[in-house]
Amino acid sequence: MNFKKIILWYLFLFLFSFFCFRFFWLFYNFSIYPYIIGSLPLIIFIVLPLKIYPHFFEREFKNNFFIAIFLGLISGLLIVLFFRLFSSDFYGFFENNFLFGFFYWLFISFSQEMFFRAFLLKEIKRRYSLFLSLVINSFLFSLWNSFLFSLWHLTVPFSPVWLTFSGLLRVFIVSLIWGYLYLKTKNLLSCFISHFLVGILLSQF
């Protein structure tokens, strides 16, 4: 996919997410239907990479399998520990319904990692690796991807922290870690597990 189409997809999903999440927020207290509306952009996050890449799951989960799991667990727990010690901006939306929260964050973290790491970051890296492979390393690819990831959180109204500069900076830095994990392990499990642990234990990102 060429770079122009990638940006167009991102802009479309940004606007679509903004509409769905605002609609979700208006009807936040009305049963399961708001969650269905809110899940629509996340479903596209999953479907798009599956349509573009054949044998997606085989390719994304076979490399460095146990190392990816280990690094995902360690990084996720370290991020959680850091925020528990140095920040009070975590919420625990589903403390009274852990089962729902488990599947909620499983879906959110998996869909976001599929789109932002397995699709967006990979396509950015593919575009520049031939020309600047000796100059632009995996950190810079993560940097670019993290900006788009943190910017997308502006569409989500659930946490007021995300609407501040410090909140977006926090998302940006954590996304750097997840992007770096993905590029180094070449396995989506690393950033997915880390993202899931941060979500389920902090209700963040």
- What does the pLDDT profile of the chain (205 residues) look like in tens digits? 777 888 888 889 888 888 887 776 655 555 677 778 888 989 999 999 999 888 898 889 999 999 999 999 999 999 999 988 887 665 555 556 678 788 889 999 999 999 988 988 888 777 765 444 334 444 555 565 677 787 777 676 656 565 667 777 788 888 889 988 998 899 999 999 999 999 888 876 6
pTM across the whole model: 0.85
* DSSP secondary structure code for residue 164 in this structure: S
Residue (of 136, 106, 121, 115) closest to 198 by Cα position: 106
Place of tokens 């502006």: 154
Can you say whether residue 127 is alpha, beta or left, with left for phi > 0 and alpha for psi between -120 and 50 degrees? alpha
| Cα–Cα distance measured from residue 184 to residue 205, given in angstroms and rounded to the nearest whole number | 21
Amino acid at the residue 100: F
Contact 51, 188 (CB under 8 A): no
> Where do runs of H (alpha helix) occur along 3-134?
3-26, 33-52, 56-61, 65-86, 98-113, 122-132
Contact 48, 115 (CB under 8 A): yes
How many CA atoms lie within 13 Å of 174's alpha carbon, on the beta-carbon side? 31
How many CA atoms lie within 13 Å of 7's alpha carbon, on the beta-carbon side? 5
The contacts of residue 58 (CB under 8 Å, 6+ apart) are: none
- What is the domain extent for residue 146? 3-202
How much is the pLDDT for 25?
Answer: 63
| Cα–Cα distance measured from residue 164 to residue 170, given in angstroms and rounded to the nearest whole number | 10
Structure tokens at 156: 């989500």
How much is the pLDDT for 136?
Answer: 42
How much is the pLDDT for 198?
Answer: 92
How much is the pLDDT for 183?
Answer: 87
Main-chain phi, psi angles of 88, to 5 degrees: -110, 5
How many separate domains does the chain show? 1
Query: What SS3 class is residue 65?
Result: helix
The contacts of residue 144 (CB under 8 Å, 6+ apart) are: 124
